[in-house]
Amino acid sequence: MKEKRSLLWFKNELRLLDNEILFRASAKASFVLPVYIIDPAQFQPGKLGFPKTGYFRTQFLLESLTALKSSLQKLNADLHVFVGRAEDIIPQLVKELKITAVYASQEVGSEELATQYAIELQLEKFGVPIELYWQNTLYHADDIPWPINRLPDTFTNFRKEIEQESSVRKIFSIAEIAYQQEIESTNIPTIQDFGFTPALKDNRCAIEFRGGEQNAQERLQEYFWEKDLLRTYKETRNELLGSDYSSKFSAWLALGCISPRTIYNEVKRYEQERVKNDSTYWLIFELLWRDYFRFAAKKFGVKIFQRKGIRNKAFVSTNDAVLFEKWRLGEIGVDFIDANMRELLHTGFMSNRGRQNVASYLAKDYKVNWTWGAAWFESQLVDYDVSSNWLNWAYVAGVGNDPREDRYFNTESQIRKYDPKGKYVRHWLADNIDVSKNTHESKVIS
């Protein structure tokens, strides 16, 4: 029987626990080579002048890769990090190391799929398959109660049916890895290698995100068990300041430093040992939203990036670069919007409430091309996830999965409800701001 030699292509599953491609490859192969590939094109400036992957995303990625490399080394393995195009590097490694199978996670983004198809075509020449596994959603794609082209058009219908008809699969344990040092070890690039200057932490940040599986697990332990914050999650999740008003799991979920199923299992344990209430359900509810957007991205493909969105709806907007820059830099003159945009600019993070408000302002008040805003979030957010980001923007802009076509976030009412004393605004802007002037009408730039 021919020896099975596998290449394990890590992408957005930078963890050991509940990693099916690691589990499957290790079970079937006598040699496993863990690989991560950094494509320089993802860090180049785009047509709007900023890099596709900005400083905060890059830093978090490098931390996560460093952590994964260390974890693999503790298992007498290693992570080999290459800089270049995956469609060039993987076929070369397959040829040189006589690889017989490539293991990878299934993707939904159009760029990721294009890369995958290009690699598959090249590997056909060697008779080497890519074995793909669906990961990083709470519910497996094979377990949802519809074919993907019949995914419900609204989240509510999706949620009700999937909760009744589907179940969450068990997690995969950490596997032993059959690894031999057949190629030289590689170093993980530094932030300077991508043209960035290391930045000091902004002391105003809500939380210091540090990449890696261990940090994800520590946050889970802290939020659920040490601070007992899960019991009030639903009541606090729309707040704006501090580290504990929400779980902050999103960055680790985005790179797969932790899986949704791991979080789900911990919620269920918490419900048994502490309390089961609306808040415990609501955290799972948010994981379901994440699932829905990923399945919708699979269904609609490149439409999620287009101005007319998945509805193919005419959208009145302009490509006004001046207004966009004012919005991007937090200089439009509406304090509540500016404060949120400054937080994003200086930390790579913004609350969910803030994201909805600034997106609505750009798309509905300024009537500037919403895809520009989504692109800025893609560059800047430490927790960027292709499906959630682009479909959330389409949702707010009125060209996505929202059943309401006229959804609008009124800035004044949002301030009264979520920052009535101006605490958040003062935190991110000057201490002497006159909050009474924080009104929509008086500050809109026309």
Task: Name all domains of the chain by residue range, CATH numbers in brackets.
Answer: 5-135 (3.40.50.620), 305-429 (1.10.579.10)
Does 292 appear as a known binding residue? yes
Tens of pLDDT, residue by residue over 164-207, are: 999 999 999 999 899 988 899 999 999 999 999 988 888 899 88
* Annotated binding-site residue? 193: no
Whether 300 has a binding-site annotation, put simply, is: no
Q: Is 385 annotated as a binding residue?
A: yes
- In total, the chain counts a number of residues equal to 446
Backbone angles phi, psi at 392, to 5 degrees: -65, -40
Q: Which residues, including other chains, have CB under 8 Å from residue 256's CB and lie 6 or more apart? A: 11, 12, 13, 14, 15, 19, 135, 136
pLDDT by residue for the chain (446 residues), tens only, comes to: 457 999 999 999 999 999 999 999 999 889 999 999 999 999 999 999 999 999 999 999 999 999 999 999 999 999 999 999 999 999 999 999 999 999 999 999 999 999 999 999 999 999 999 999 999 999 999 999 999 999 999 999 999 999 999 999 999 999 989 998 889 999 999 999 999 998 888 889 988 899 999 999 999 999 999 999 999 999 999 999 999 999 999 999 999 999 999 999 999 999 999 999 999 999 999 999 999 999 999 999 999 999 999 988 877 789 999 999 999 999 999 999 999 999 999 999 999 999 999 999 999 999 999 999 999 999 999 999 999 999 999 999 999 887 776 778 889 999 999 999 999 999 999 754 443 333 322 222 21
Annotated binding residue at 291? yes
The annotation status of 264 as a binding-site residue, yes or no, is no
pTM value? 0.94
78 known ligand binder: no
383 appears as a binding residue in the annotation = yes
Residue 384 assigned as binding residue: yes
Does the annotation flag 390 for ligand binding?
Answer: no
* Cβ pair 148, 394 in contact under 8 A: no
- Report which residue type is found at 172: F
Is 36 labelled as part of a ligand binding site? no
278 in a labelled binding site: no
Phi/psi of residue 430, nearest 5 degrees: -75, 150
Is 248 annotated as ligand-binding? yes
